Amino acid sequence: MAGGTFDRSATVLVDMDEVLAYYLEALDDALVLNDPEYPLVPYGHRDRYNQLGGPGFNLDSLAAGMNTPGLFRHLRPVEGAVDALHEMANEGLNILIVTTPTFENRTCAQDKFEWVDEHLGREWVQRTIIAYDKTAVSGAVLIDDKPEITGSMAPSWQHLLFTRPYNAYVEGVPRMGSWENWRQCVLPLLDAGRV
């Protein structure tokens, strides 16, 4: 998968949920299926990360929706994500998918591996890391939608925030609004990190 136009050995870490695949729309469907009265917050109106229900939402219903077997298996790919990852790898970047599992969802990890196999190819399963602590994974750049990523270590990577409505309030950070402009967003960060 390596060997392309750019001579770059840096590792780019890529989050899965809401960066490669639309998790929240599948979760919303599961929530309403489990509890038709569940107070959803429309996607475009979510103004903070983890805003998973409106006023008075039921925690048990939220847990049941998040733990739906197969929830992560059939997520819709984010526009341009699959092609962009192949382009990045073909141009010599070392791409790893780093995703956090939902602990109580017993099929989550397997679902994620099967999603990667179907949409990116079997060889990408070996490039997929399931990690609760992304700070423990080495790389030059992490593309992630979560506004703040904390863990047990000082991260080796620079966070490139993948823009979503719920992180719009974050200022002064590198952002990527869509996969079609990955070169303009990722490559300068890799160049800046070189000694």
Instruction: Please indicate, yes or no, whether residues 82 and 105 belong to a single structural domain of this protein.
Output: yes
The tokens describing 40, both together, are 């959803």
Strand-pair category, 175-176 with 158-162: parallel
| pTM for the full predicted model | 0.92
Q: Is 188 helix (H, G, I), strand (E, B) or coil?
A: helix
Query: Of residues 15, 28, 111, 145, which has the active-site annotation?
Result: 15
Instruction: Please indicate, yes or no, whether residues 41 and 57 belong to a single structural domain of this protein.
Output: yes
Please say if 29 is a catalytic residue.
no
Query: Of residues 17, 111, 144, 145, which has the active-site annotation?
Result: 17
Instruction: Please indicate, yes or no, whether residues 178 and 84 belong to a single structural domain of this protein.
Output: yes
CA angle 71–74–76, rounded 5-degree value: 115
Residue 39, phi then psi, degrees to nearest 5: -80, 90
Report the candidate in 67, 40, 76, 32 with the shortest Cα–Cα distance to residue 56: 40
What pLDDT score was predicted for residue 192?
77
Place of tokens 């048990």: 60
Question: From the first residue on, what is the mean pLDDT of each consecutive set of 10 residues in the chain (195 residues)?
Answer: 46 97 97 95 92 91 96 97 97 96 94 98 97 96 96 96 96 96 95 66
* Residue 152 in domain: yes
CA angle 129–25–116, rounded 5-degree value: 30
Instruction: Please indicate, yes or no, whether residues 135 and 161 belong to a single structural domain of this protein.
Output: yes
Instruction: Please indicate, yes or no, whether residues 50 and 83 belong to a single structural domain of this protein.
Output: no
The tokens describing 153, both together, are 């270590």
The number of domains in the chain is: 2
What pLDDT score was predicted for residue 158?
95
* Residue 132 in domain: yes
What pLDDT score was predicted for residue 7?
39
Instruction: Please indicate, yes or no, whether residues 176 and 89 belong to a single structural domain of this protein.
Output: yes
Please say if 17 is a catalytic residue.
yes
Task: Report the CATH number at residue 102.
Answer: 3.40.50.1000
Instruction: Please indicate, yes or no, whether residues 15 and 34 belong to a single structural domain of this protein.
Output: no
What pLDDT score was predicted for residue 3?
39
Residues of the domain holding 41 = 26-66
Q: Can you name the residues that pair with 79 across neighbouring β-strands?
A: none
For the packed helices 81-90 and 182-193, what is the interaxial angle rounded to 10 degrees? 40
Q: What would the DSSP string read from start to end of 22-36? A: EHHHHHHHHHHHH-T
Instruction: Please indicate, yes or no, whether residues 53 and 109 belong to a single structural domain of this protein.
Output: no
What pLDDT score was predicted for residue 153?
96
What pLDDT score was predicted for residue 191?
85
